[in-house]
Amino acid sequence: MIRTPLRPLARILDARRKGENPDAIERENIRLRHEEMRDRARRRAEGRLLVLAGLFLAGFAVIGGQMAVLAQSEPAEPRAGASGARILAQRADITDRRGRVLATNFDTYSLYAQPQQMIDPEGAAEQLAAIFPDLDRARLLRGFTGKRKFLWIRRTLSPEQKQAVHDIGEPGLLFGPREMRLYPNGQIAAHVLGGASFGDEGVSAAEIVGVAGIEKALDARLRDPARAHEPLALSLDLSVQAAMEKVLAGGMSIMNAKGAAGILMEADTGEIVAIASLPDFDPNQRPAPPAQGNPDDSPLFNRAVQGVYELGSTFKTFTIAQALERGQVEPDTMINTQSPMTWGKYRIRDFHNYGRELSVEKVLVKSSNVGTARIAVEIGAERQQAFLRTLGLLDPVPLEITEASGSQPLLPPKWSELSTMTISYGHGLAISPLHLAAAYATVVNGGRRVTPTLLRDPDRAPGPRVISETTSATMRDLLRRVVTDGTASLAEVPGYAVGGKTGTADKPKAGGGGYHEDRVIATFAGMFPAHDPRYVIVVTLDEPVETSGEEPRRTAGWTAVPVAAEIIRRTAPLLGLRPAIEQVGAAAIRRASN
């Protein structure tokens, strides 16, 4: 079916020439499309009612005829009989927030054989092996010449493959109609959609069931016959998702990273506009799970949700927000940053020597571990733990995909004072990038708790309050300063005021025993526009190395931040955000004269 575009270029250009509002064209096309959908649904319902009425009439006729036959026949002992359950092949489509199809059903055919009806089994096996290189000719021949009366050959066929098999002319090769799940955008949003496979199968139908992602988590909703005509609308935006994946893949290549994850979320509602994990896969041909090795070596591994990492200095935002909320400090409060800070046999140091003291603002802008740890000591372990829990950082994220259940944060076995200090700057507590995105949204959106979701709901109610609006406003200003004056300067995007925080954490060794010296997890967590955040963005790179300079650079400011900035630069216009143009002052305006 060919759809009329919502914003036809010719009409848009004509409207602009006439000074009309091009958005009115889109609204009218949307209205017409909705009316068409309602009319189509009504006609479908009316047709079903007519068919149902016809079936009832036929059923009553059959029952009446059978009763007449039984009335004239001799009495006999009845025999019990049962028929197999009907296979439900219908499955609802999945769309993005604008109604664009992410997953749908496709009519196809299966191929099976009835060997007893075959004329030339050997020739059929040879030609099938030529059409389908993955089939073994010898195995097919054994099946065709054995005692089996039924043999599955292919669960699905393309139209070209069906025609090629038909041309063989073998009466023992038969086709069965069925539906298969189709993902028309290929690898885009693969980890969200997950994939589907066949459940109960018959000759003329096959049940489609979800095997991962939202296909599995909401399998009952998608298979509900009463809602098969009603698409499942996600919060994703297909255009934004595609742009993020493209930039993330480029950044992963340039930064020589092992993997990457990106999240773009509405700050107020928690609706995820785009979420990506690389490397990824094509759900139309979902690969088999790995039998050995690390889980994150597989493209099936969702780094944005399943990946649990120590995310470094991005945690300093939470420490300072809690201290501000408690009235413990103000942005200009001076903090002792004399390095190293000693706790027993442990030493806490800063990346640079910042002198004897810094203000709270500078502790965040310059990313001082020592200053943050001293603030955390005054907060205390119990209060720190309680605050992080209210942000949702200590429990799995309740996202609508099956993989979210594996996002259990890794907590210290004993939350000691040393744990309090290290957790304050992002070590000793491991969470997923999605945890981080939700917590940052809570901090910058006015202080209300955000729960991430993949489902579109324009009427979503705000969450409970975690911090005050005053504290949230102060944190927005501080995070903006990190970009203008601090470690995230490469995040600046002209026209879009970006705020955020970098985090570079040494990667722990797989078998335990400390951390790698040359492998890091680099993260940028940010927001835009900073004065009134509409969106939160998180970009995480696994083992990045930036090699354009004389020495390799691994910190987030050189790796994750430029990638996040490019994502914002490309997606902000797609999200409908207009760049803010700096106003020219009156002193710069001069009268021109002859």
pLDDT interval class at 590 (50, 70, 90): very low
Mean pLDDT, residues 403-411 taken together: 90
**Phi and psi of 183, rounded to 5°?**
-115, 95
Average pLDDT over residues 433-439: 97
Backbone φ, ψ for residue 547 (5° rounding): -120, 20
Of the listed ranges 71-75, 239-243, 325-329, 432-436, the least confidently predicted one is 71-75
Whole-angstrom distance, CA of residue 542 vs CA of residue 259: 5
Largest CA distance in the chain: 119
Gap between the Cα atoms of 377 and 424, Å rounded: 9
Helix (H) or strand (E) holding 310: none
| Confidence grade of residue 586 (pLDDT, cut at 50, 70, 90) | very low
Per-residue pLDDT averaged across 267-289, rounded? 95
Percent residues over pLDDT 70 in the chain = 94
- Three-class secondary structure of residue 267 per DSSP: coil
198 phi-psi bin (left φ>0, alpha ψ -120 to 50, beta other)? beta
DSSP, collapsed to helix, strand or coil, labels residue 272 as strand
Q: Residue 436 is which amino acid?
A: L
Is the CB of residue 231 less than 8 Å from the CB of residue 455? no
Distance CA 354, CA 433 (A): 29
Sheet strand arrangement including 272-278: 272-278, 259-266, 535-542, 515-528, 499-508
Q: Is the peptide bond before 529 cis (omega within 30 degrees of 0)?
A: yes
Please spell the DSSP secondary structure of 342-360, one letter per residue: EETTEEE--SS---SEEEH
Give 75's pLDDT tier (boundaries 50, 70, 90): low
| Residue 88: CB atoms within 10 Å | 16
Angle CA 113–114–115, to nearest 5: 100
d(CA 245, CA 186) in angstroms, rounded, equals: 12
Determine the Cα–Cα distance for residues 271 and 460; give it in Å rounded to an integer.
Answer: 9
Mean pLDDT computed over every residue of the chain: 89
User: Which residues have C-beta within 8 Å of that of residue 56, sequence separation ≥ 6?
Assistant: none
Residues 415 and 438: their CA atoms lie apart, in Å, by 23
Q: Is 313 a catalytic residue?
A: yes
For residue 594, pLDDT over 50 is answered with: no
Q: From CA 451, how far away is CA 214, in angstroms rounded? A: 17
pLDDT digit string, tens, across residues 200-225: 777 777 788 999 999 999 999 999 98
pLDDT higher than threshold 90 for residue 443: yes
The tokens describing 547, both together, are: 């090699």
Q: Is 258 exposed, middle or buried (0-12, 13-18, 19+ CB in 10 A)?
A: middle
Closest to 206 (Cα-Cα) out of 242, 165, 245, 177: 177
- 415 φ, ψ (degrees, to nearest 5): -85, 80
Which residue in 235, 277, 313, 339 is the catalytic one? 313
Is the pLDDT at 78 greater than 50, yes or no?
no
H helical segments located in 194-329: 213-217, 219-223, 238-254, 316-326
**pLDDT band for position 431 (cuts 50, 70, 90):** very high
What local confidence, expressed as pLDDT, does residue 36 receive?
83
pLDDT band at residue 260, thresholds of 50, 70 and 90? very high
Angle at 282 between CA 277 and CA 288, to 5 degrees: 90
Binned at pLDDT 50, 70 and 90, residue 576 comes out as very high
The DSSP code sequence of 59-77 is HHHHHHHHHHHHHHSPP--
Q: What mean pLDDT comes out for the span 482-496?
A: 94
What pLDDT does 364 receive?
96
Mean pLDDT (whole number) for 530-549: 94
pLDDT given at position 132: 93
DSSP string, 138-169: HHHHHHHHSS-S-EEEEEEE-HHHHHHHHTT-
Cα–Cα distance, 317 to 375 (Å, whole number): 12
Residue 256's CB is within 10 A of a number of other CB atoms, namely: 15
**What pLDDT was estimated at residue 294?**
83
What value, to the nearest 5°, has the Cα angle with vertex 502 and ends 500 and 503?
140
Q: Please give the Cα distance from 323 to 329 (Å, whole number).
A: 6
Please tell me the distance from the alpha carbon of residue 532 to that of residue 530, in angstroms, as a whole number.
6
